[in-house]
Copies of this chain bind each other. A is one copy, B any other.
Amino acid sequence: MGTDGARLAGNQYGKARVRVARVERGADGVHRFVDRTVRVALRGDFTAAHVEGDNAHVIATDTMKNTVHALTEDAADGESVESFLLRLHDHFGGKADHIDGVLVEASEAGYRHIDVDGAAHPYAFEQLRERRTARLDGMPRDRVLHGGIEELSILKTTESWFRDFPRDEFTTLPETDDRVMATIVTGSWRFTDEAADFEGAWRVIRAALMETFATHPSPSVQATLFEMASAALAACPAIDEVSLALPNRHYIPLDLTAIGRSRGAVLLPTDEPHGLIEATVTRT
């Protein structure tokens, strides 16, 4: 085995889409439901596996799955997804000398207690559309922890415009003073402290993103993105950087004058094409 003239330049392997759930029963009868999809990936000296078919260094991805299962059972009730990843990363980071990089990440389903007669039911839940995410990469003494969010679909029906942009021979878009702005937020933020209050951070960052989107008069998705990220930084001292990716989900005003109606009263929702605005904002 092995081919003359070829060299392994980089590699990473692991287990993706490991799913786990657990029920936590509080002393007050109120339950918490944890439902995660986890990924583990290792980097390091795996040349023999690739070039010689020697698996002596290859921790089976099935073992990674079992490790996620075991460490899920070991959790204390109420453990955040970030804290879970820290424990999981510790495990693989100390595993073997030939490993020089460990990536663990998770996406967690959002659940809200069902409302029954105006009160939160203690153990019945409705799943939200959005998911909370976390990611930890590096080696135990030198690693970077991110929290995040995905699939948060939000829109506003006014206070958004887009004008004064450059025009060339391929520009046909009219300027607009009032448009629907709709997006599905994917975002992440970098923690500066592994002992941060992750649950509190999640709450204030999510609220800052939502409230800023709602209240910021928007000259562009770029400007709204910057305000949202800035507000998240201002709300949470435990982070020093926020990255957002905001698709611009266009609701296009239809011209129905050819069929006896008007222009702009009906909008056409579209999934493609869409703008895609991405930026990272840090503290000065």
Contacts and interface: CB of A to CB of B under 8 A. Distances in A.
Interface of A: 1-23, 25, 31, 33, 35, 37, 39, 41, 46, 49-63, 65-67, 69-70, 72-74, 95-96, 111, 114-117, 121, 123-129, 152-159, 162-173, 180, 210-211, 213-215, 219-223, 225-227, 229-231, 233-234, 241, 247-248, 251, 254, 256, 258-262, 265-284
A81 B164 CA distance: 34
A280 B58 contact: no
A73 B256 contact: yes
Nearest to A1: B223
Contacts of A111: 155
B283 A220 contact: no
B53 A219 contact: yes
A129 to B, nearest CB: 4
B211 A114 contact: yes
A234 B3 contact: yes
Nearest to A31: B157
Q: How many copies does the complex hold?
A: 4
B279 A11 contact: yes
Contact of A123 (B70, B159, B165, B223): B159
B241 A9 contact: yes
Contacts of A159: 123
A166 B284 contact: no
Nearest to A216: B1
A266 B24 CA distance: 11
A114 to B, nearest CB: 5
A213 B21 contact: no
Contacts of A55: 162-165, 219-220
A280 B69 contact: no
Contact of A214 (B37, B121, B267): B121
A33 B38 CA distance: 31
Among the interface residues A72, A153, A273, which one has the most CB atoms of the partner chain B within 10 A?
Answer: A273
A87 to B, nearest CB: 14
B276 A13 contact: yes
Nearest to A126: B154
Contact of A266 (B58, B63, B73, B254): B73
B16 A50 contact: no
Across the A-B interface, give the 7 residue pairs with the lowest CB-CB distance, nearest first. Answer: A124-B214, A3-B230, A53-B219, A17-B272, A127-B153, A6-B230, A11-B279
A254 to B, nearest CB: 6
A209 B85 CA distance: 36
